[in-house]
Amino acid sequence: MRIHSIDAVRGLAILGILFMNITFHQNGYANYAFFEEPLLSDTVISLFNTLFLDGRFRSLFCLLFGAGLAIQFEACEKRGQHFLDFSQARLKWLFVLGLLHGVFIFSGDILLYYSLCAFFILKHFTLPQDELKKKSIHYLIVGSAIMLVGGLVMAFVFDMGAELATRPSETFNEEVALWQSGYLTQLGIQASFMLSTVIVAPFTMLWQSMGLMMFGAYLYRAGFFNHGFSSLLFKKLVLVAIVTSIITALPQFLFEQVTLDVIPMFTSIPAIFCALVYAHLLINIRHTAAWWYQSLINCGKVALTLYLTQSIALAVLFRIVMPAYFPNFIYSVTLLDLLLVTIAFTAVQVILANAITKHFNQGPFEALWRKMYLRSFHKKQKLKHDEKEQLTYMDEV
């Protein structure tokens, strides 16, 4: 039986993540380039993203991914199936989908990364609750320390942020020309980005992500997705989320080099607490019959389909339509423009999710993924069964 609160939180995450990914969709090489003379709207939206959005939906996805693994563990136990074999089959095909998605469509892919994170922690799902919670917190502390130290090093030692191009500038124009030079060039850039993401993961987000997944599994087993946190604990989380969010936003005003590309490393820490706050709020209004809540549930049911169609539709928009009919768009686009595009596309996704779930039990990409991993799983089980029978036969002879 599906837990509707999990679907609702997943729906929020899949719709919310586009608000952060949209800048990378419109320019997959240089991301968003600020203007030399900063726009007020850019400053306001950037600050809002830092306080409420940046890293929050990635953290929600990690929590939900871990909860999903815990649900699969229970289901495998009830059916007498081998959890590792089943999960590894699912993750293997998620890895393939992520690889294809990241190289050929959008290098900001998270599917490949999440599948790798999950592979490393599967063995921990047999741990008792207290040990699972303790280990997840250890991973989160180590991961947050790595991100904090890494951000400080990048900001104050290597001064990497100051090297990002602004508009108008010759560097930015060269980057745009390279990005728009052809699909083969884009493939090379995307493949390189995917490879670099995997290589640097142990030194950046890996430990936090694994900790969040394990903590998500712990929360599911503790019944969090049925009742949320206690009132006192929730108030403490809100306070910590507010304080840490403000602290990580301050560098945008104090240090120019931090403003440009290091802030996401800092915001990954308050993102953990904010994600828990967002999840609690949705869980505690789960009994509402409001259309928007049901729409979130529907979006959560087809999250994989929505995620992949986001990339396909926006690749067509920003790489084919805009260069052909609005060639100056990439030079003049603002964060406000991208926000309006995101809001419009979010409405389209909600309509699409409601239409799919009205007529089908799952989305097309969910169905494809399920077909592939079940085929792999059953094939492996058959091979094990045949090997066992062969060994039995040999023993009898």
> Around Cβ 141, how many Cβ atoms within 10 Å?
13
> Around Cβ 374, how many Cβ atoms within 10 Å?
14
Displacement of CA 391 from its chain's centroid (Å): 44
Q: Tell me, what's the pLDDT at 307? A: 97
Q: Tell me, what's the pLDDT at 162? A: 47
**Upper half-sphere CA count for residue 237 (Cβ side, 13 Å):** 18
One DSSP character per residue, 65-104 reads: HHHHHHHHHHHHHHHT--HHHHHHHHHHHHHHHHHHHHHH
In the chain, which stretches have pLDDT less than 70?
A: 1, 155-164, 252-261, 286-288, 391-397
Q: Tell me, what's the pLDDT at 392? A: 67
Alpha helices in the chain (DSSP H): 4-26, 40-48, 56-79, 83-104, 111-121, 129-156, 170-179, 183-200, 206-221, 224-227, 231-249, 251-254, 256-261, 263-283, 291-301, 303-316, 322-325, 329-332, 335-359, 364-396
Q: Tell me, what's the pLDDT at 344? A: 97
pTM assigned to the model: 0.92
Q: Tell me, what's the pLDDT at 238? A: 96
Which residues neighbour 76 within 8 Å (Cβ) at sequence distance 6 or greater? 82, 83, 86
One DSSP character per residue, 5-27 reads: HHHHHHHHHHHHHHHHHHHHHH-
Distance CA 209, CA 66 (A): 10
Q: Which two tokens stand for residue 194?
A: 């995917």
pLDDT digits (tens, 9 = 90+) for 235-285: 999 999 999 999 887 776 666 555 556 777 888 999 999 999 999 999 998
Single-letter residue type at 254: L
**Upper half-sphere CA count for residue 359 (Cβ side, 13 Å):** 6
Q: Tell me, what's the pLDDT at 121? A: 95
Distance CA 204, CA 153 (A): 12
- Least Cα distance to 241 among 262, 210, 269 occurs for 269
* Nearest-10 crossing angle of helices 263-283, 129-156: 150
Q: Which two tokens stand for residue 273?
A: 């607490």
Q: Tell me, what's the pLDDT at 318? A: 96
